[in-house]
Structure 1
Amino acid sequence: MRLLLLNPNTTEAVTALMRESAAAVAAPGTEILTATASRGVPYIATRAEAQIGGAIALEMLAEAPRIDAAILAAFGDPGLLGARELFDFPVIGLAEAAMLSACLLGGRFGIVTFAQALVPWYRECVAMHGLEARCAAIRALDGRFASLAEVQAEKEDQLVALAEATVREDGADVLIFAGAPLSGLGPRVRERVPVPVVDQVAAAVKLAEAVVALRPRKATAGTLRRPAPKPSRGLPEALAARIAHTD
């Protein structure tokens, strides 16, 4: 099984962090491929950046080698529904995978992240997946951080304290440390948090493996069927070919 871990941000160190988390849980025989955006922003934090990142993700998926499934590795799932519409292989969103896994472990989940700017986008992501009733709260740290790739180490104690407050004050039954730079933090601090912690990358890898094993066919009806062929102008060759059905 070949899974593509696609980072629509430009920070290679964060991709490496996610690859480490993925390799730790991948089943024997699962190959983890990675791709990092060559243009865009270091990390997506706003609605505008999510739109940009989603378009870049579609370009990257069109250029992907043969894979069985892709993981859209940005919490907030930019471009996810468009990717499911356009491509034949399953596409798993980091946020959706984490939240659905959390729903198997408790009534309501809490989301803790490292920057306040992410909160409105994450809230809209929860709504996009129809999980508002299952989300106890979304909390984020205030202040700046020195390094994106090192933010989880730099802010570990504050993130754990915020997680504890989400459990104590908001009634979260399960906790998600959200945002690609926080991949791997959950397993490391799980004994310091009084409820189950879901690692976003681990959840996405295991759900991707499960979905591939189901051998789903591409929809030919409904809202996620492949759109009718259409010409385009100025798009990368592989994406233009996909849209035109000449791939």
Structure 2
Amino acid sequence: MSEFKQTFNSSLGKKLIMALTGLFLCTFLIVHLGGNLLLFSNDGGYSFNVYANFLTHFPPIEVIAYLLYISILVHALYATILTIKNRRARPVSYASSPKSPTSWSSQNMGLLGSILLLFIVIHMGDFWYKYKFTDTVAFKEYRTDLSSGVTTAANFTPASKDFEHSVSTQGNEEIVRVKDIHAKVAASFSQLWYVIIYVIAMGALSFHLLHGFQSAFRTMGWIHRKYTPIVEFIGTWFFAVVIPLGFAAMPIVYFLNK
């Protein structure tokens, strides 16, 4: 046990924890983007609202969500510890910057991570916290004709404060009543300052993933002449380009179409 503890208290152990939590967060980004793309469904917010309700009421997903929150905190904590340790090891900066093949993103991971952490706090406070713990998010009622598949939407006011969601059938109609987080998203994305913050954060995410994804594999020793170029390609084009652009497209499209 002492050797195990000593290993994870070492710099290499901390980097390994950062690599594992970082890859877990990369997996989350894929799932999160896939769900958020439902915002582009032209269905009055039905798909996205049902998706959000599922995420917050399905126990296995809720467990994964809390693992996600822990991973974010651990990743940020160990990044801070390693940054402080590296600065203490070199308290005096170089008189002139040495020529180095390291990229700008690798030299500024602390700054990029700080921007992302601040964004996560703002983002979760505006959506997750208000959705889960306040009554500022209204409700929507969706009625789907089971024979034609046509869905109509209307505002809904629950009779009880304890009401969260319901699914029922009335005659030939399926009635779904859920919180209208889609309206909250549309309201937030109609504000220019929020869109700017979101896009800046996605730019930081791009550069953070550009270095971080590949670095995680190197930390774990998964380096191979045949497979490393594939990892670099995925890290560059999928995680550093496609993922951030997908997220950034949402506030931009909503703002332009408000």
Larger fraction in strand: 1
Provide the TM-score with structure 1 as the length reference.
0.27
More helix by percentage: 2
